[in-house]
Structure 1
Amino acid sequence: MTAVVFVGPTLAPQAVSDRLDATILPPVRQGDVYRVVGDKPTAIGIIDGFFEGVPSVWHKEILWAIEQGIPVFGSASMGALRAAELADFGMIGVGRIFEDYRDGTLQDDDEVAVLHSPAELGFQPLSEPMVSIRATVAQARSAGILPPDTSAEVLRCAKAMHYHHRIWPDILNALPELPGIAEFADWLPTGRIDAKARDAVAMLERMSEHLAGTPLPPSDTVRTEHTLMWKALRARIDAGDPPTDRGVIDELRLQPELYARVRDRAVLTLLSREEASRQDHTLERADLVRQMEAHRASAGLSRRSDLMAWIEANDLSPEGYETMLADAARIEAATASRAGRLDAQLLSELHRSDQYTLLRDRAVSKAEQAFPTGQSGVDRLRVLIWYFESRLDQTVPDDLDSYAVALGLAGRDAFYEMIEAEFLYCHRGADTGAAE
């Protein structure tokens, strides 16, 4: 097999073919490198890869390829990130972006992330990568187009944007009065630097030189550790790929009501990600642990082996599972920040879904009973066990305060008053002191 290059928005396929005889594949995702190793390519080049919504390529896949004697090159985007992380283990990084990640000058993944069109439209870039913005601003400053203070403000403004929204017109429109901006806007069409394409071309040239006989620097091969998750990934791929993502989504579309619910949750996830990025909000480890405990409790995954089996059955990696938890934590944070404004919208959604009258009538009936909540003499633990184990078929949460806040309540006391009223309502006319 010839060399393989994973590329998407950074370079067009023709630009790759002009410089290297290679099989051109879409941006790399989890499992792709392991798959192509089976075809024994002469070399693997990684330029683009998926960051969000699709599991990213594993480090172990790359180490596995190197262990099989296949050189792996990386540059520009996902390739630069992985090469910086695996340079000490034999991956060959090429270009300024790789060097900046390796040396710690760059640290954030969003420096190379871009919004792009789907595969059907050729992965066309729809936003500007931050690394290219930095290179362009540096060039304009060197050429005397941008004063130093304006250069710094352009970079600050661009970095504050979510990577989906980084396009030059929006950046310039946000800073119309700064010295040099008008001149910079005139210079930009011919002066713009595409830092990712520049590095990607350099990598292709380096690969071509190697395939023509130029030796690579010696490196120590690190043997891939055969962990449970690595074995699971290999077994899944060796057994044949599961249905494609598009196929799974089409199955979901065949159930319109479920599709609408999942779609709304997916939109909420995207919005919460964008808000966290704008506010530079970093999740604490405790947030992820709390989400994991909640998920394991709801899914009945009490043992670690059960959790690992669930991750494997759902075509996830540990990194993908953590991303799922992080999304849930961001949604929780975004919801909590809007707690005081949610009630009106909740009522509106109940009207829209035709659930309002049923709940209203129940609330009115409960209020008419005038149950003396807090003074009923019913044991609190009994009420909690009844509500969670009998009504919800789950265990009582360890952190009742967090559980209550997630429901828009002030804390556990308010939550207890609510479920005590429900307990009394459901047992009206019965001896609430009798055993159940």
Structure 2
Amino acid sequence: MTAVVFVGPTLSPKAVSDCLDAKILPPVRQGDVYRAVQEKPDAIGIIDGFFEGVPSVWHKEILWAIEQGIPIFGSASMGALRAAELADFGMIGVGRIFEDYHSGVLQDDDEVAVLHSPAELGFQPLSEPMVSISATISQAQSDGILPPASAVEMLRHAKAMNYRQRVWADILDAVNELPGVPAFTEWLPSGRIDAKAQDARAMLVRMSEHLGNAPAPPLDPVRTERTLMWKALRKRVDAGQPVVDSSVLDELRLDPELFARMRERAVLALLSGEDAVRQDRSPERSDLIKQMEDHRANLGLSRRSDLMEWIEANDLNPDSYENMLADGARIEAAVASRAGLLDAQLLSELRRSDQYIDLRDRAISKAQCAIPVGDSGSDRLRVLMWYFESRLDQEVPDDLDSYAEAIGLVGRDAFYELIEAEYWYCHTETDAGAAE
């Protein structure tokens, strides 16, 4: 009897082997379960999986594995999340964390998320999962170490932190004046509870019992719909193409200017995501729709089939595409919330990149230029078409107010003034050159 277990920061390979003779694979990501099924294991266990940076394991590949008659167990982390979502379809969840997600006691993914080291360093956990923090504080209350009010405040503070920053030293430092915290600090090394590890071991024991017993009669699983996205994923995996290929990033690094631009954008996305977590704010559906409309318009994806082809070609699925849109919405929200602080920083960045002097001299020259006032609709249309079609080589945007806000202006009137001044300045410069 053979088993496959996807595990990373929750348990070490030795801890898995102590409970179950299994093939141990890194945290699961999109395509891994489909790939594992090709070896026809007798059971698959999911403990850890990737949440960010790479596409997460797809619900459909788990359902497809169940359809092939392979029991899929889930616990502790990504396994508990997927098991709670797919329990009604035959995935086997094990442990308190799974039960809490399945019952709705837990809802946020960040309850089990942790920062961990790369594969080369063994996926060592670098932060504390919220489920373990909660279990530890609850145990400290039961042992009479923490007063209830201090426990509530400690939990509140930990929950408000980004999951990457949840380490006991920082949590305790922030609440060190609360009653009972000094005693809790002394108790913690021996009293700390690793809730994810407990549930993961329970799942491995359950898998071992399953493999040691006579096989149960096969269930009648739900047939997985053979959608285009599912066929595309299978095609990539079957062709041996990595779902996420770090070599793409190596290609990016060969273009240092593009890498620098993409790195700054990526950092902005990370910071705006952390900002949203701290403020407990998620993008509204209307924000996501606007992001999608802008994205489709920018890339000319007018038909739904064009969009779906683009999603497939970029190794995405509808869920990860929506996550990409959410990144854009969070960036826009973060920028908008700091609009009044950006001007000084923009000037600083212009000086740092040695572009300030040229723009300053141009602004002074433009201010000395006599600019006619054109108030008619035809004048404005002519200027708009000149600016977008001749200068930027793009179509005039449908929503000029949004365009103006995106470049830091208060609305279309301010934008009209900006480009009218540019239009007449450019034409005055051209006329002066012709006269010479």
* Alignment TM class, shorter chain as reference: over 0.9
Further displaced range: 105-114 or 308-317:
308-317
Deviation at 1:177? Answer: 1.6
CA-to-aligned-CA distance 1:218-243 (integer Å, 9 cap, x gap): 75411101112111111222222148
Runs of at least 5 residues in structure 2 that lack an aligned partner in the other structure:
432-436
| Counterpart residue number, 2:279 | 279
1:232-260 CA-to-partner distances (Å, cap 9, x unmatched) read 11122222214853211111111111111
Residue 378 of structure 1, CA deviation: 5.0
Q: Partners in 2 of 1:132 and 1:277 — Cα distance?
A: 19
* Contact 1:89/1:220, CA 8 A, preserved across alignment: no
Moved more, 372-381 or 284-293: 372-381
- Alignment check: 8 A CA contact 2:374 2:380 kept: no
Given that residues 111 and 131 in structure 1 are in contact (C-alpha distance below 8 angstroms), is that contact kept between their aligned partners in structure 2?
A: yes
Q: Is the 8 Å Cα contact of residues 46 and 78 (structure 1) preserved in structure 2?
A: yes
Encode CA deviations 1:156-215: one digit per residue, 9 max, x unaligned. 110011111111111111111211111111100000000000000000000111111165
What TM-score results when the alignment is normalised by the length of structure 1? 0.95
CA shift at 1:111, angstroms? 0.3
Q: Secondary structure at the match of 1:93?
A: strand
Kept in 2, the 8 Å contact 1:373–1:421? The answer is no
Q: Is the 8 A contact 1:73 1:79 kept in 2?
A: yes
Are the aligned partners of 1:297 and 1:394 in contact in 2 as well (CA < 8 Å)?
Answer: no
Distance 1:371 1:378 in 2: 17
Q: What does the per-residue CA deviation read over 1:6-46, in whole Å, with 9 as the maximum and x for residues that have no partner?
A: 11100001111111111111111111111111111111110
- Number of equivalences: 431
Post-superposition CA distance 1:70-102 (Å, at most 9, x none): 110000000000000000000000000000000
Distance 2:339 2:374 in 1: 25
Structure 2 letter corresponding to 1:407: I
For 2:174 and 2:319, how far apart are their aligned partners in 1?
Answer: 36
Amino acid corresponding to residue 383 of structure 1 in structure 2: V
Distance 1:377 1:314, change over 3 A: closer
Say whether 1:362 aligns with 2:362: yes
Match of 2:414 in 1: 414
Aligned CA distance change for structure 1 residues 129 and 214 (closer, same or farther; 3 Å): farther
Q: Which residue of 2 aligns with 1:184?
A: 184
**Residue 380 to residue 173, structure 1, CA distance change in 2 (3 Å):** same
Equivalence for 1:213: 213
Please name the residue that 2:204 is paired with: 204
Residues 372 and 424 in structure 2, CA contact (< 8 A), matched pair in contact too: no
Structure 2 residue matching 1:427: 3-state secondary structure? helix
Aligned partners of 1:74 and 1:82 also within 8 Å: yes
> Which has the higher mean CA deviation after the structures are superposed, 229-238 or 149-158?
229-238
- Could you tell me how far apart the structure 1 residues matched to 2:134 and 2:326 are? 29
- How far off its partner does 1:376 sit? 7.4
Deviation at 1:419, TM superposition (A): 1.5
Q: Deviations over 1:266-295 (max 9, x none)?
A: 111111111110011111011111111111
Alignment of 1:139-154 (within 5 A): 139-154=139-154
Q: State the one-letter code of the partner of 1:109.
A: D
Deviation at 1:389, TM superposition (A): 2.9
Per the TM alignment, residue 296 of structure 1 is displaced from its structure 2 partner at its CA by 1.1
Which secondary structure does the structure 2 equivalent of 1:428 belong to?
helix
* Corresponding residue for residue 312 of structure 1: 312
Q: SS of the counterpart of 1:156? A: helix
Cα distance between partner residues in 1 of 2:187 and 2:430? 82
Given that residues 47 and 76 in structure 2 are in contact (C-alpha distance below 8 angstroms), is that contact kept between their aligned partners in structure 1? Answer: yes
**Distance verdict in 2 for CA 1:173–1:307, change over 3 Å:** same
Determine if contact 1:5/1:25 at 8 Å carries over to the other structure.
yes
* 2:6 corresponds to: 6
Aligned to 2:88: 88
Once the two structures are overlaid, the 10-residue window that deviates more, 148-157 or 357-366, is 357-366
Q: From the superposition, tell whether residues 135 and 219 of structure 1 become closer, same or farther in structure 2 (CA, over 3 Å).
A: farther
The 2-side partners of 1:354 and 1:3 are apart by: 60
Counterpart in 1 of 2:24?
Answer: 24
**How far apart, in 1, do the equivalents of 2:344 and 2:216 lie?**
65
Match of 1:134 in 2: 134
Partner of 1:434: none
C-alpha separation in 1, matches of 2:56 and 2:396:
36
SS of the residue corresponding to residue 30 of structure 2 reads coil
Aligned pair 1:385/2:377, yes or no? no
- The answer to which of 122-131 and 232-241 deviates more is 232-241
Q: Distance in 2 between matches of 1:397 and 1:167?
A: 47
Structure 1: which 5+ residue stretches go unaligned?
432-436
Alignment of 1:204-353 (within 5 A): 204-213=204-213, 219-242=219-242, 245-353=245-353
Q: Which amino acid aligns with 1:316?
A: L
1:335 is displaced (CA, Å) by 0.7
Deviation at 1:422, TM superposition (A): 1.8
CA distance in 2, matches of 1:322, 1:389: 31
Letter in 1 for 2:59: H
Q: Which one is further off, 422-431 or 89-98?
A: 422-431
Kindly indicate whether the alpha-carbon contact (under 8 Å) linking 1:44 and 1:70 is maintained by their aligned counterparts in 2. Answer: yes
Distance in 2 (CA, whole Å) between partners of 1:236 and 1:369 is: 60
> Secondary structure in 2 aligned to 1:69?
coil
- For residues 219 and 415 of structure 1, do their structure 2 counterparts lie closer, same or farther at Cα, with a shift above 3 Å needed? farther
Give the C-alpha shift of residue 425 in structure 1: 2.4
Query: Which whole-Å CA distance do the structure 1 matches of 2:378 and 2:286 have between them?
Result: 34
Instruction: Supply the AA of the counterpart residue of 1:172.
Output: L
Contact map agreement 2:243 2:315 (CA 8 A) in 1: no
Give the TM-score of the pair, scaled to structure 2.
0.95
Judge which range, 26-35 or 386-395, deviates more: 386-395
Matches within 5 A, 1:163-182: 163-182=163-182
